[in-house]
């Protein structure tokens, strides 16, 4: 990676300082709280911090660099960028941001966008699955035992509501998961407790510009949100915003709802692929 000049070095220091001071409470403290609460980073870990080029993953990378400065035990981080077929403008934007923020990235290239471009049914779902698989594969080749993704608090509560309203199920985005296809690998989400508005505030305060959409279906949107405008997730964002007008605790209540599940009041549930019904043990309670 090309060395920074003095002006760029000073700018990078200011970005890092913003995490330690201005955004300490809303970003840094919540980042470390998630790591401690969910036991996301352990001694001896080698973590592939996966950078998509958006605000969330770039912030996560800076937080991991900060964590390395203050770490209380030994662990390693690698900053992994998988290029699934970005156009040249988006690729340059990612590389320039990484240089500007002094993040030493390793880039792997794939043809995922081309592979799913002609798929008519659920191309986004297939793309996400393929990207996840490639990330695990590349991370494992680098000697890593974990991949870190940049999903945040708002992603979590939106996923909960989307599952209920559009899929008829109660589920959440977990703070960490064991990989079912890559033995010994885990997925972690260190921004689990960080609010999206605070990430945007950090981005804007530091005058940073990240890509938002880079897929083949919306090639022209290095700075737009066309794909989001068409998504169910945006509907959920708007619903939560409306509910918050009359209940300021609604977001926290949605988040806590999957921590306070009372199985005595659940008609049926699944565990390890096996369906359980309240009738299975109903008569035993007499």
- pLDDT tens, residue order, the chain (286 aa): 667 888 889 999 999 999 999 999 999 999 999 999 999 999 999 999 999 889 999 999 999 999 999 888 899 999 999 887 777 888 888 999 999 999 999 988 776 665 555 655 655 665 677 777 789 989 999 999 999 999 999 999 999 999 999 999 999 999 999 999 999 999 999 999 999 999 999 999 999 999 875 555 544 444 344 344 357 888 999 999 999 999 999 999 999 999 999 999 999 999 999 999 999 999 986 6
Given a contact cutoff of 8 angstroms between Cβ atoms, the answer to whether 222 and 209 are in contact is no
Per-residue model confidence (pLDDT) at position 211: 82
Contact 64, 19 (CB under 8 A): no
**Confidence (pLDDT) at 114:** 59
- In this predicted structure, what is the pLDDT of residue 1? 63
Q: Give the span between the Cα atoms of 51 and 31, in whole angstroms.
A: 16
Would you state the pLDDT for residue 228?
42
Structural tokens at position 23: 């955004």
């Amino acid at each position: 990676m090309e060395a920074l000049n003095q002006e760029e070095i000073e700018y990078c220091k200011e970005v890092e300082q913003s995490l330690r001071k201005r955004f300490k409470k809303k970003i840094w403290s919540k980042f470390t709280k998630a790591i401690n609460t969910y036991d996301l980073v352990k001694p001896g870990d080698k973590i592939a911090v996966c950078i998509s080029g958006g605000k969330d993953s770039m912030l996560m990378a800076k937080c991991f660099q900060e964590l390395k400065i203050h770490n209380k035990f030994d662990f390693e981080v690698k900053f992994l960028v998988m290029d699934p077929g970005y156009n040249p403008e988006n690729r340059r934007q990612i590389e320039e941001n990484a240089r500007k923020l002094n993040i030493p990235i390793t880039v792997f290239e794939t043809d995922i966008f081309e592979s799913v471009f002609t798929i008519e049914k659920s191309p986004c779902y297939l793309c996400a699955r393929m990207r996840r698989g490639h990330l695990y594969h590349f991370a494992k080749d680098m000697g890593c035992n974990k991949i870190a993704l940049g999903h945040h608090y708002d992603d979590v509560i939106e996923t909960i509501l989307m599952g209920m309203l559009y899929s008829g199920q109660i589920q959440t985005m977990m703070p960490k998961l064991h990989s079912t296809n890559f033995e010994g690998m885990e997925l972690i989400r260190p921004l689990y407790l960080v609010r999206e508005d605070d990430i945007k505030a950090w981005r804007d305060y530091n005058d940073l510009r990240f890509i938002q959409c880079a897929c083949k279906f919306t090639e022209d949107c290095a700075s737009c949100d066309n794909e989001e405008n068409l998504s169910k997730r945006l509907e959920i964002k708007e619903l939560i915003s409306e509910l918050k007008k009359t209940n300021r605790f609604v977001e926290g209540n949605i988040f806590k709802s999957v921590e306070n599940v009372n199985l005595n009041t659940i008609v049926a549930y699944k565990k390890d692929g096996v369906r359980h019904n309240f009738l299975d043990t109903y008569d035993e309670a007499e």
